[in-house]
Amino acid sequence: MACLCIDVIPLNFLRLFLAISVTLKSAIIFVLPVLIFGLIFSTFQRLGQGASKIFAIALGLLCCSNFLATYMSHFVGEGVHSMDLSLAQVAAGNELVPLFNLQFPKIISNAFAMIFGVICGIFVPKVSPTYSQKILNVFDIIVSRLLSYISFVIPFFLFGFILKMQYDGMVLLLVRQYAIIVAVIIATLAVYISLFYFIASGLHPENAWRSMKNMIPAVICAFGSMSSASALPYTIVAVEKNTSNKSLAKSIVSITTNIHLLGDCIAIPIFIYAILKSFGLPQPSAALYLIFVIQFVVAKFSVAAVPGGGIIVMLPIIERCFGFNDAMSSLIFSLYVLMDPICTSANVLGNGAFAQLIDCIVCRFRLGNFSEESNVA
């Protein structure tokens, strides 16, 4: 719709819409540390309220899974970087600039909020469970309201940047030159997730195929809503069919819904490499990419459960590690939003495979006291 309106909107209104988008971006980044702390504190406290041994294993494997997928994407990204992806440069003076530029101060870094959230989430419940529960209740309210506000402003946030891309002549270039990147991402997701199910199903192709078929309703819901949380009831039903311990399946899926995000882990790094090539920048060094992966995995504990939430939290990390400017950041945000239905579907599929893998480990090593229920699939 924004692209169709570009020719009838006066220039000053275009600049106003862009200014609103830039301001909203600054406001979202301003409140991110609070959101990050609340989500991480809540996650770690809830992990400590159940079967600690199983959830400690699940948490470790979850971090390993996110790390492996993100690091593996580095090799795919290198191949993408070798492609001919030079975007046409926008002529100087023809770029749309905001009517005003209101920037909010950055008081606390996201890295500090992540580390402090982890420390508080682990130690505060041990020191004072009652006080910890009160803090949890307060931050549950704060996080819920912040997420609702962010959900409301996301369309306005995106509208101005899309107008700028259309005004600068980049929309057609995206469609023409990034279609191959989208195809690469989809192919990588398909191979990686199929292999994940193959391993989680005990190296039995028939069981892996049946498990993926059981996940189809959850995938359809995730694709349409662009929300793993909205697809959670369907995911639980599917995972119950694919596992032996239904209570364990519910617990694992509930925990991993907004943390274990294979779609993001694969899509975002590939987009980074594509954009670096498009703007004539070199590939990052192995050491720099490793630093990025570590921060990326930790930040997964604070991803906002809204459309585009995955990239909103990651933008400051991407800008710091790879030197993205505003044009590059708006580009990766737009590409991510276009891919959000596919990424969310991949996230849901990955969560199903992960829950199945944990169930397999629990059954094999007889961990925990979850009630055993026969598989009815």
Residue 154 lies in a domain: yes
Residue 209: CATH number of its domain: 1.10.3860
Q: How many domains does the chain have?
A: 1
Tokens of 349: 């599929």
Residue 238 lies in a domain: yes
Hey, how many other C-beta atoms are within 10 angstroms of the C-beta on 237? 17
Return the pLDDT at 344: 85
Residue 222 lies in a domain: yes
Q: At 268, is the pLDDT very low, low, confident or very high (cuts 50, 70, 90)?
A: very high
Q: What are phi and psi of 93, to 5 degrees?
A: 90, -10
Of 174 and 242, more confident: 242
Residue 376 lies in a domain: no
Contact between 330 and 165 under an 8 Å Cβ cutoff? The reply is yes
pLDDT > 90: what percent of the chain?
14
Alpha-carbon distance of 269 to 50, in angstroms, equals: 34
Structure confidence by residue, pLDDT tens digits, 3-17: 556 667 788 888 888
> Hunting for tokens 């699940």 — which residue is that?
58
Average pLDDT over residues 155-165: 74
> Hunting for tokens 């819901």 — which residue is that?
221
DSSP string, 46-115: HHTTS-HHHHHHHHHHHHHHHHHHHHHHHHHHHHHHTS---PPPPPTT-S---S--------S-HHHHHH
CA triple 74-117-133, angle to 5 deg: 140
Alpha-carbon distance of 350 to 168, in angstroms, equals: 37
Number of H helices, E strands in the chain: 15, 0
Contact between 114 and 40 under an 8 Å Cβ cutoff? The reply is yes
Residue 374 lies in a domain: no
- Calculate the alpha carbon distances from 322 to 170, 201, 208, 274 in Å: 21, 38, 38, 12
Residue 314 lies in a domain: yes
Sign of the dihedral through C-alpha 142, 63, 331, 321 = positive
Q: At 308, is the pLDDT very low, low, confident or very high (cuts 50, 70, 90)?
A: low
Residue 377 lies in a domain: no
Q: At 54, is the pLDDT very low, low, confident or very high (cuts 50, 70, 90)?
A: low
Q: At 196, is the pLDDT very low, low, confident or very high (cuts 50, 70, 90)?
A: very high
Return the pLDDT at 253: 77
Structure confidence by residue, pLDDT tens digits, 97-129: 888 888 888 777 766 776 787 788 878 888 888
Q: What are phi and psi of 314, to 5 degrees?
A: -80, -20
List the domain range (segments joined by +) for residue 33: 2-365
CA within 13 Å, CB half, 85: 27
Contact between 157 and 24 under an 8 Å Cβ cutoff? The reply is yes
- Dmax over CA atoms of the chain, in Å, equals 67
Alpha-carbon Rg for the chain, nearest whole angstrom, is 21
pLDDT at 89 over 60: no
DSSP string, 220-256: HHHHHH--TTTTHHHHHHHHHHH-S-HHHHHHHHHHH
Residue 375 lies in a domain: no
Average pLDDT over residues 263-272: 91
